């Protein structure tokens, strides 16, 4: 299941990257996060790992994720190492002078065959809401 939300912000890419390029600050950006802890030490970059748990339905869902793409002011992507299989990405692109379009994508897949498919589909609405709220938070942070 892939969920995607997009927003165009009145801020340049460097300003937006100051927020998105610092995963340690994601708890103030991403709603419904129950746990976000750095597993690795040092500045964020490719190979950085975090324990991430989102409140989805009855329980926290997630696991350990690893940053696999850290392209300054362009892309930040991660994949899951444990827990629900997921790929996430923030994608920053120019949208005219002083403006940036940010795309937030989350692709995830639960095991368990048919029940996994149903769970993924049911969770999609809540995941979509979380992504939308994240982008609203981002807008508030960079445009204020």
Partner 1 sequence: MTGVADILDWARQQVAKRVPKADLDQRDPDYIRDQLPGLWLLASLYFRADVRGLDRIPAEGPVLLVGNHSGGNVPPDTFVFTLAFCSYFGVERPFYQLVHNLVALYPALGWLPKFGTVAASPDNARLALESGAAVLVYPGGDYEVYRPSWQRHVVELGGRKGFVRLARETAVPIVPVASVGGQETALFLGRGQGLARLLMLDKVLRLKSLPISVALPWGLNVTDWLGHIPLPAKIVIEVQEPIEATGDDQAVYDEVVASLQAGVDRLAAERRFPVIG
Residue closer to partner 1 by CB (options 46, 115) is 115
Residue closer to partner 1 by CB (options 72, 82) is 82
Report d(CA 88, CA 67) in Å as an integer.
Answer: 9
Least Å distance, CB 63 to partner 1, is 6
Q: Applying CB under 8 A, does 122 fall inside the site for partner 1?
A: yes
Q: Which long-range contacts (CB under 8 A, 24 or more apart) does 66-72 make?
A: 67/23, 70/21, 70/44, 70/45, 70/46, 72/17, 72/21
Residue closer to partner 1 by CB (options 55, 69) is 55
Give the one residue of 79, 83, 89, 139 binding partner 1; rule: CB under 8 A.
83
Q: Applying CB under 8 A, does 39 fall inside the site for partner 1?
A: no
Tokens for 14? 């460097």
Residue closer to partner 1 by CB (options 47, 57) is 57
Stretch that binds partner 1, among 6-14, 54-62, 89-97, 127-135 (CB under 8 A): 54-62
Q: Is 130 helix (H, G, I), strand (E, B) or coil?
A: helix
Q: Applying CB under 8 A, does 31 fall inside the site for partner 1?
A: no
SS3 per-residue string spanning 57-123: CCEEEEEEEEEEEEECCCEEEEEECCCCEEEEEEEEEECCCCCEEEEEEEEEECCCHHHHHHHHHHH
Residues that bind partner 1 (CB under 8 A): 34-35, 53, 57-64, 82-83, 110-113, 115-116, 118-120, 122
């Amino acid at each position: 299941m892939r969920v995607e939300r997009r927003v165009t912000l009145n801020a340049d890419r460097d300003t937006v990257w100051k927020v998105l390029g610092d995963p340690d600050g994601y708890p103030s950006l991403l709603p419904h996060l129950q746990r976000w802890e750095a597993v690795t030490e040092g500045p964020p970059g490719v190979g950085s790992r975090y324990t991430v748990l989102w409140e989805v339905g009855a329980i926290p869902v997630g696991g350990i994720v690893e940053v696999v793409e850290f392209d300054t002011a362009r892309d930040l992507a991660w994949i899951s190492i444990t827990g629900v299989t997921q790929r996430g990405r923030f994608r920053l692109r120019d949208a005219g002078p002083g403006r940036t379009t940010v795309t937030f994508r989350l692709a995830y897949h639960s095991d368990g065959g048919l029940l996994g498919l149903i769970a993924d589909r049911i969770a999609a609405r809540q995941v979509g809401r979380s992504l939308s709220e994240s982008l609203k938070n981002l807008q508030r942070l960079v445009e204020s």
